[in-house]
Amino acid sequence: MIQSAKGTYDILPKDVYKWHYLESIIKKTCELYNYKEMRTPIFESTDLFVRGVGESTDIVTKEMYTFLDKGGRSITLRPEGTAGVVRSYVEHKLYADPNQLSKLYYVGPMFRYERMQKGRYRQLHQFGVEALGAYDPAVDAEVIALSVNIFKQLGLKQVKVAINTLGDSESRSNYRKALINYFKPHVHELCADCKKRLEQNPLRILDCKVDKKHKAMLGAPNMIDYLNEESKQFFNQVLEYLNDFKIEYEIDTNLVRGLDYYNHTVYEILSNVKGFGAHTALGGGGRYDGLVEEIGGPNTPGVGFAFGMDRLILALEAENIDIPCNDDVDVYIISMSDKTKRYATKILEKLRKNDIKCEEDYFKRKVKAQFKQADRLKAKFALIVGEEEILENKISIKNMKTEKQETIDLINLIQEIKDRLEDYDDSKT
């Protein structure tokens, strides 16, 4: 038997409602903040990710699905969403839009060749936003607030926001030098990746999962001490907005995020629900003012985030959040005999054309078994089509909850069902 490829999984019909729920909240909230959806290709030129994600990142060095296509081009399945959105923004000159700030969101699968474990897949799903075009701390705060609001709407409680600043390029470069000086004497004790990071991107040593308990981590220089005045002010303004919005956060000076292109604000949202791993990152983001230029566009500020949807579904399950599931049918049509089947099927199609969700029997079941099936499908009403009734232009309708059955004129069928469905829904609330 051929099985799904390692690191991938099927979302079965019984679970897909959870994804619809998550996607609907993402869409609703992004649109409330006036972000517009953008859909970019699943594969892009490999160069895009090498430049856009950063040559020294784990994603580019170890995790990309890269192959030559039949034309000899190097292609990569997208490992994240930002690079594609920024490429499209540059290619379509969206920066020339008089609205200036382009507020975009995306939802979809990403691909990373990673070691498998719970909550870590090779085809993962992310949603993210990118706000391109404004150097304003209000945008950083807006992006954080938007993500926090999505979590709130989902009903997730056991989450916390961690935030830090990497400062502007001057502050970051001073901090970089301080880190190199500090870690140089310890470098022989650090992992192979950190040995490379020391020269390429020493900030990422602070983020290393292998060396995180190394004693040198404790005394490492702190970014806050290397911020210039402008960077301090920028960070303070972001925090002030968050305070105004009543968003709780913790400042985590070791938070640097995996990608090379961040400056100023970086943040993460972590879940600490039991059974889900301690402080598992659900996602995060930050400011990346150099990225658009790196990808060939004009110098343009940007802020964004990306969250893992697979992990959000796990977090919803771990917090036992009741996800609305609307999989019952409105009407089940019961055919009393072979002779009425064609007539019943005609009615079935008519109901569907009138937005009534309905189903019938395809297995020549006996009437009793058809009622049983109606129950299994959680039908609200059963329509019973009998020969005599057809002759009289009538049909019987049974409320499956109260078991009350009546005969109605066929001519009024659609309106009668709609009225009853409305009363049925009202009786539930």
Residues that bind ligand AMP (CB under 6 A): 80, 112, 114, 119-121, 124, 126, 258, 281-283, 306-308, 310-311
CB of 285 to ligand AMP, least distance (A): 8
CB 200 to ligand AMP: min, Å: 18
Shortest Cβ distance from residue 38 to ligand AMP (Å)?
A: 17
User: At closest approach, how far in Å is the CB of 63 from ligand AMP?
Assistant: 8
**Which residues fall within 8 angstroms of residue 259, CB to CB, at 6 or more apart?**
53, 54, 57, 59, 80, 288
Q: Which is nearer to ligand AMP, 124 or 417 (CB)?
A: 124
Q: How far apart are the C-alpha atoms of 420 and 429, rounded to whole Å?
A: 15
**Cβ atoms of residues 122 and 116 within 8 Å:** yes
List the structure tokens of 323: 């996800």
Rounded to 5 degrees, φ, ψ at 325 are -130, 115
Dihedral sign for Cα atoms in the order 235, 240, 246, 248? positive
Minimal distance in Å, beta carbon 336 to ligand AMP? 52
Q: List 100's β-bridge partners, or say none.
A: none
> Could you tell me the smallest distance in angstroms from the CB atom of residue 220 to ligand AMP?
22
Least Å from the CB of residue 120 to ligand AMP:
4
CB of 273 to ligand AMP, least distance (A): 14
Q: Give the N- to C-terminal CA distance of the chain in Å, as an integer.
A: 47
Residue 306 vs 397, nearer CB to ligand AMP? 306
Min separation Cβ 312 and ligand AMP, Å: 7
Q: Name the minimum Å distance from CB 401 to ligand AMP.
A: 41
Residue whose CB is less far from ligand AMP, 160 or 357: 160
Which is nearer to ligand AMP, 120 or 214 (by Cβ)?
Answer: 120
Q: Which residue is nearest to ligand AMP (CB)?
A: 308
- CB nearer to ligand AMP: pick between 284 and 301: 284
User: In terms of CB distance, is 137 or 283 closer to ligand AMP?
Assistant: 283
Measured from the CB atom, the residue of 157 and 352 that comes closer to ligand AMP is 157
Query: With respect to ligand AMP, which residue has the nearer C-beta, 286 or 297?
Result: 286
3-state helix/strand/coil string of the chain: CCCCCCCCCCCCCCCHHHHHHHHHHHHHHHHHCCCEECCCCCEEEHHHHHHHHCCCCHHHHHHCEEEECCCCCEEEECCCCHHHHHHHHHHCCHHHCCCCCEEEEEEEEEECCCCCECCECCEEEEEEEEEECCCCHHHHHHHHHHHHHHHHHHCCCCEEEEEEECCCHHHHHHHHHHHHHHHHHHHHHCCHHHHHHHHHCHHHHHHCCCCCCCHHHHCCCCHHHHCCHHHHHHHHHHHHHHHHCCCCCEECCCCCCCCCCCEEEEEEEEECCCCCCCCEEEEEEEECCCHHHHCCCCCCCEEEEEEEHHHHHHHHHHCCCCCCCCCCCCEEEEECCHHHHHHHHHHHHHHHHCCCCEEECCCCCCHHHHHHHHHHCCCCEEEEECHHHHHCCEEEEEECCCCCEEEEEHHHHHHHHHHHHHHHHHHHC
Q: Pick the closer one to ligand AMP by CB: 61 or 415.
A: 61
- With tokens 């100023």, the residue in question is 264
Shorter beta-carbon distance to ligand AMP: residue 283 or 302: 283
Cα–Cα distance for residue pair 103/277, rounded to 1 Å = 33
Closest CB to ligand AMP among 271 and 373?
271
- Min. distance of Cβ 244 from ligand AMP in angstroms? 27
